[in-house]
Amino acid sequence: MGLEEKLPAGILLTSVEKLAGYARKSSVWPATFGLACCAIELMATGGPRHDLARFGMERASNTPRQADLMIVAGRVSQKMGPVLRQIYDQMADPKWVISMGVCASSGGMFNNYAIVQGVDHIVPVDIYLPGCPPRPEMLIDAIVKLHDKIQNMKLGVNREKEITELESARLRQLPLLPHLQTPEVRAGRASELQVHTEAVERTGTEH
């Protein structure tokens, strides 16, 4: 029994965005970029135990022109950076990037001049996957989260509006470090803390 047996009168209503998102997330073709030990876990994810074919991703492209997902698995050296960027530029649009492992995400233990301290200095990253190295289950979880992001991606004017809203929200965020905050913000937070402290003291006195 297929999907058509469950549809009322054989009619299914949806939006273009939902249909395009479903088609895109169900046909992601990865361009594997294995650079270090994380690549072993990436290869294990494609094996029979974890089976990436469940997501339609068993085809690892040998050419970037037939891929739309780059999985950066491992540390990125300064010499490898231009090569990675060239492959990314040759991939088909729309395209996405998963930074697999702490070395790809932030340089990891290799805090030196030879290693790029985060692949997001070279290409935009959609999903950061921690771990050293991350297990195949963690990579599958990252892929599922990326599928959800692709499924709900806006199109056209709605996409431009979404980008503007996200940028505005980021600009409104306050820095976490106190010395980076403006005096007005620090004063406001101090007054909020004082009000909260007085309320707690009053509550303790009443009890």
pLDDT digits (tens, 9 = 90+) for 21-58: 787 888 888 887 788 888 888 888 877 888 887 877 77
C-alpha 74/C-alpha 79 separation (Å) is 14
DSSP SS3 for 87? helix
* 123 pLDDT above the threshold of 80: yes
Element (H, E) at 128: strand 127-129
- In this prediction, residue 180 carries a pLDDT of 54
C-alpha 144/C-alpha 26 separation (Å) is 11
* 62 pLDDT above the threshold of 60: yes
201: pLDDT confidence band, cut at 50, 70 and 90? low
- In this prediction, residue 182 carries a pLDDT of 57
* 136 pLDDT above the threshold of 70: yes
15: pLDDT confidence band, cut at 50, 70 and 90? confident
CA angle 158, 24, 145 (to 5 degrees): 85
CA angle 125, 21, 39 (to 5 degrees): 40
Q: Residue 103 is encoded by which pair of tokens?
A: 């070395």
